[in-house]
Amino acid sequence: MKKVLVLEDEANIRSFVVINLRRSGYEPIEADCGEMALEQLRRHPDIRVALLDVMLPDIDGFEVCRRIRASNAKIGIIMLTAKSQEMDKVTGLMTGADDYVTKPFSPAELTARIDALYRRMGGDVEMEDTGEIRQGPFRLNTRNRTLEKNGERVRLTQIEYSIMKYFMDNPGKALSREDILNEVWGRDYFGELKIVDVNIRRLRIKIEDDPTMPTYITTVWGFGYKWGF
Ligand code: CA
């Protein structure tokens, strides 16, 4: 199991993160203060990634980061910062964090960052081997080019598969219809942008809980679409 330390003192945010990490195949190890985080790391030396909240009741997240880095260069560290702590991003990266996620964040965004960190550290052999992208209830198998939702196969055309792959590679990011067209159909394709909309409509029928109220593929008015949760 891929262990991830979750240091967050706010219980509701922590459980939100924990639930979503479990869904994505990680084993979360929880801590509600800095001292406990350091203790958990001693207890679980196989933790590969740590999520550190900045504002904590005892020592702040940057100090925790500094102390972890003092003895462990290999672990991946992602700081959880509030929007108002814009400067903290810089401080966090200076103290040895690898990445930061701004609150409020979507589960898809967070797991994508953790996945990316795992890959960058070369530690994610399991994921590379199986060729899988897991986000929320979805599991995309990039080897067989198949999609599952809650363990059930969703039958996709090759184009629909390519759109899903593009979305899942870019969670939480607004993608223009032109971007999607270029990525999926290729730059020399001479079709209309409408083809993107048509395929998205069909994809929604297949993957959304309620296609009339899409929650996974949302419309960014006058621009394109966004994948998220
Ligand atoms: Ca906090």
Least confident of 42-46, 66-70, 79-83, 165-169: 79-83
Over the stretch 42-58, which tens digit does the pLDDT of each residue have?
999 989 899 999 999 99
Q: Are residues 12 and 113 in the same domain?
A: yes
H helix intervals, the chain: 11-23, 34-43, 61-71, 86-94, 107-120, 125-130, 158-169, 177-185, 194-207
Q: Tell me the CA–centroid distance for residue 107 and ligand 1, in Å.
A: 18
CATH number reported for the structural domain that contains residue 30 in this entry: 3.40.50.2300
Q: Tell me the CA–centroid distance for residue 166 and ligand 1, in Å.
A: 33
Confidence of residue 128 (pLDDT cuts 50, 70, 90): very low
Q: Are residues 115 and 28 in the same domain?
A: yes
Count H helices and E strands in the chain, helices first: 9, 12
Q: Are residues 166 and 205 in the same domain?
A: yes
Q: Are residues 60 and 156 in the same domain?
A: no
Confidence of residue 115 (pLDDT cuts 50, 70, 90): confident
Higher pLDDT: 14 or 83? It is 14
- Domain assignment present for residue 154? The answer is yes
- Domain assignment present for residue 42? The answer is yes
Cβ atoms of 208 and 216 within 8 Å: the answer is yes
CATH number reported for the structural domain that contains residue 152 in this entry: 1.10.10.10
- Domain assignment present for residue 127? The answer is no
**Omega of the bond prior to 137 within 30 degrees of 0, cis?**
no
Q: Tell me the CA–centroid distance for residue 81 and ligand 1, in Å.
A: 9
> How many domains does the chain contain in total?
2
Q: Which of 85, 120, 155 is the last residue of a domain?
A: 120
pTM: 0.55
What gap in Å lies between CA 21 and CA 69, rounded to an integer? 23
**DSSP-derived 3-state class of residue 66:** helix
Inform me whether the pLDDT recorded for 99 exceeds 90: no
Q: Which of 59, 89, 120 is the last residue of a domain?
A: 120
Over the stretch 4-40, which tens digit does the pLDDT of each residue have?
999 999 999 999 999 999 988 899 999 999 999 999 9
Inform me whether the pLDDT recorded for 165 exceeds 70: yes
Q: Tell me the CA–centroid distance for residue 56 and ligand 1, in Å.
A: 5
- Domain assignment present for residue 15? The answer is yes
Q: Tell me the CA–centroid distance for residue 55 and ligand 1, in Å.
A: 4
- Domain assignment present for residue 162? The answer is yes
Least confident of 11-15, 54-58, 125-129, 182-186: 125-129
Q: Are residues 34 and 89 in the same domain?
A: yes
- Domain assignment present for residue 125? The answer is no
Q: Are residues 82 and 7 in the same domain?
A: yes
Q: Are residues 110 and 178 in the same domain?
A: no
Residue 84's pLDDT is: 65
Q: Which of 120, 143, 176 is the last residue of a domain?
A: 120
Domain that holds residue 214: 132-227
Residue 12's pLDDT is: 94
Q: Are residues 178 and 99 in the same domain?
A: no
Q: Are residues 221 and 116 in the same domain?
A: no
Average pLDDT over residues 66-80: 86
